[in-house]
């Protein structure tokens, strides 16, 4: 354990004790003091990672009942929030895609379509990474795309001498642009769908817990897909046209390389077709759930039961029934990030405590009394805070801590909470400046082709572009879709 973690390990409980004995109950209720003290402990451990993040998320389950904030049954309910099962079902579907390498086949075919020029290859990787990260984790996407990208970069070295001459400026810029766009696209793509990245699920869970409102898969895509698409192409433009332009008309051998990788996968197997069928059916039901419910005349379909049905089907659709082989087996679910699901529950439980103890209303009223800025400026400030904080802390922890505060502001000002919360949530996915900001950044940085200076330089420009895109897009689209 490093010194930062050691410091945080003792600071968390110390802050808890100090706040318990120093906060005045003339202003705050006894429960509000307890929640703030517990919240300070959680935030400290989440930021410093003094304890495993999921373990920290379990503290409210123990401390809320112990201090009388809520009963154990009430504290446990958020850990079984429907949104958690939505994400679990999405994870199961993603695991099936990964197990049968369907995601790799999709990626290689997309890359093949965009051509063999330097920018064409970068565009192919950008699109493939962004599209895949809509459905599977950004880390898994980046891990899959990196070796393919490095194989393409290695082609540049083939004509060189055995001693290995340095790459030309064009080739360096191509390698740099290719790897950066993979890292960034893996984060950007997740904004498009409600299951694309954990912050989206946390926000959706909070909306359900606080306001009883389902954000709905299809409605989220009406906002998220345009935001992600514009940000994705802006990333491609900034990297290839402004920061690291390359003039490579053709990367020799790239077409053959992609063909060889596709040949290695062989023709599409029956298990891939069945995974694709389940995935396609699930996506169809997500997108068209409202027309389907209207046709049936009952609210049969919702995001969670569609996701869980798709996930369960992966365990029930056979590959070879006589040998008890199915699309997915339970052993493979060891890869499923159960810790993230516990973190969701802990965050929702903490947020529920803030609501029931009156902290959210207190924040809202305090802001409402002093607020003189326009709605547009308020969204811009909150989005900027979220974006720059996510560069130095976990995006899930950030949304977990920040969204209840945003809800308090929305309540105090009488604003639709989605109008403030959605841009803040999108901004939490825009961590582009440092390798530590998000796993995809660290993965591509480990290739050795990217310097810290290059990542910071690209990250600053992309951060600014992201704020502008999120601010304008969500201001127009959220009002249209959710009002």
C-beta of residue 8 within 8 angstroms of C-beta of residue 46: no
pLDDT over 90 at 77, yes or no:
yes
Contacts of 58 (CB under 8 A, 6+ apart): 342, 346
pLDDT over 80 at 165, yes or no:
no
Q: Global pTM? A: 0.87
Higher pLDDT, 370 or 300: 300
Lowest mean pLDDT among 31-45, 46-60, 355-369, 389-403: 355-369
Lowest mean pLDDT among 124-128, 239-243, 290-294: 290-294
pLDDT at 362: 84
Q: Both ends of the chain: CA-CA distance in Å?
A: 48
Tokens representing residue 309 in the block = 């049905």
SS3 318: strand
pLDDT over 80 at 161, yes or no:
no
Tokens representing residue 473 in the block = 């897009």
pLDDT at 158: 56
Lowest mean pLDDT among 71-75, 113-117, 377-381, 450-454: 113-117
Cα distance between residue 287 and residue 237, in whole Å: 30
The segment with the largest mean pLDDT, out of 214-218, 227-231, 287-291, is 227-231
Higher pLDDT, 438 or 25: 438
Tokens representing residue 50 in the block = 């003094």
Integer angstrom CA distances of residue 346 from 56, 78, 205, 256, 326? 8, 7, 11, 49, 33
Q: Tokens 């903490």 label which residue? A: 350
Phi, psi of 320 (to 5 degrees): -145, 100
pLDDT over 80 at 348, yes or no:
yes
pLDDT at 189: 96
Q: Using a pLDDT cut of 90, give the percent of the chain over it.
A: 54
How many Cα atoms within 13 Å fall on the side-chain side of residue 93? 28
pLDDT at 166: 60
pLDDT digits (tens, 9 = 90+) for 383-441: 999 998 888 888 888 898 899 989 989 988 889 999 999 999 999 999 899 988 888 99
pLDDT at 254: 83
C-beta of residue 98 within 8 angstroms of C-beta of residue 77: no
pLDDT at 163: 45
C-beta of residue 77 within 8 angstroms of C-beta of residue 318: no
pLDDT over 80 at 181, yes or no:
yes
What integer best gives the mean pLDDT of the chain?
90
Strand partners of residue 320: 325
Lowest mean pLDDT among 112-116, 127-131, 183-187, 464-468: 112-116
């Amino acid at each position: 354990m490093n010194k930062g973690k050691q410091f945080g390990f003792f600071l968390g409980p110390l802050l808890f004790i100090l706040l318990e004995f120093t906060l005045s109950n003339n202003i705050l209720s006894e429960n509000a003091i307890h929640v703030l003290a517990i919240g300070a402990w959680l935030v400290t451990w989440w930021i410093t990672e003094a304890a495993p993040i999921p373990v920290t998320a379990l503290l409210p389950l123990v401390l809320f009942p112990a201090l009388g904030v809520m009963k154990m049954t009430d504290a446990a309910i958020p850990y079984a929030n429907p949104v958690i099962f939505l994400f679990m079902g999405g994870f199961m579907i993603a695991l099936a895609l990964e197990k049968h390498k369907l995601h790799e086949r999709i990626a290689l075919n997309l890359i093949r379509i965009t051509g063999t020029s330097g920018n064409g290859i970068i565009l192919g990787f950008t699109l493939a990474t962004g599209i895949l990260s809509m459905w599977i984790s950004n880390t898994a996407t980046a891990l899959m795309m990196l070796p393919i990208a490095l194989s393409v970069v290695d082609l540049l070295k083939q004509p060189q001498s055995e001693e290995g001459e340095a790459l030309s400026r064009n080739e360096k810029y191509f390698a740099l642009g290719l790897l950066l766009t993979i890292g960034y696209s893996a984060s950007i793509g997740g904004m498009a769908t409600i299951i694309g990245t954990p912050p989206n699920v946390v926000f959706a869970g909070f909306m359900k817990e606080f306001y009883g409102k389902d954000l709905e898969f299809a409605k989220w895509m009406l906002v998220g897909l345009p935001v992600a698409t514009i940000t994705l192409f802006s990333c491609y433009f900034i990297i290839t046209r402004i920061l690291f332009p390359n003039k490579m008309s053709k990367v020799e051998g790239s077409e053959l390389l992609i063909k060889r990788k596709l040949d290695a996968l062989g023709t599409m197997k029956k298990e891939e077709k069945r995974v694709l069928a389940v995935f396609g059916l699930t996506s169809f039901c997500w997108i068209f759930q409202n027309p389907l419910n209207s046709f049936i005349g009952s609210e049969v379909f919702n995001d969670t039961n569609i996701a869980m049905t798709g996930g369960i089907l992966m365990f029930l659709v056979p590959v070879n029934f006589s040998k008890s082989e199915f699309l997915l087996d339970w052993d493979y679910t060891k890869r499923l990030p159960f810790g993230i699901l516990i973190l969701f529950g802990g965050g929702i439980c903490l947020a529920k405590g803030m609501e029931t103890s009156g902290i959210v209303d207190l924040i809202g009223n305090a802001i409402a009394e002093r607020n003189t800025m326009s709605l547009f400026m308020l969204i811009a400030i909150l989005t900027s805070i979220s974006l720059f904080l996510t560069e130095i802390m976990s995006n899930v922890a950030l949304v977990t801590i920040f969204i209840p505060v945003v809800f308090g502001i929305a309540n105090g000002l009488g604003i639709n909470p989605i109008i403030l919360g959605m841009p803040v949530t999108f901004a939490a996915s825009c961590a582009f400046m440092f390798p530590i900001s998000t796993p995809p950044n660290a993965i591509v940085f480990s290739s050795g082709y990217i310097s810290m200076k290059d990542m910071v330089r690209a990250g600053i420009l992309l951060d600014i572009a992201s704020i502008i895109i999120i601010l304008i897009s969500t201001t127009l689209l959220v009002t249209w879709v959710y009002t």
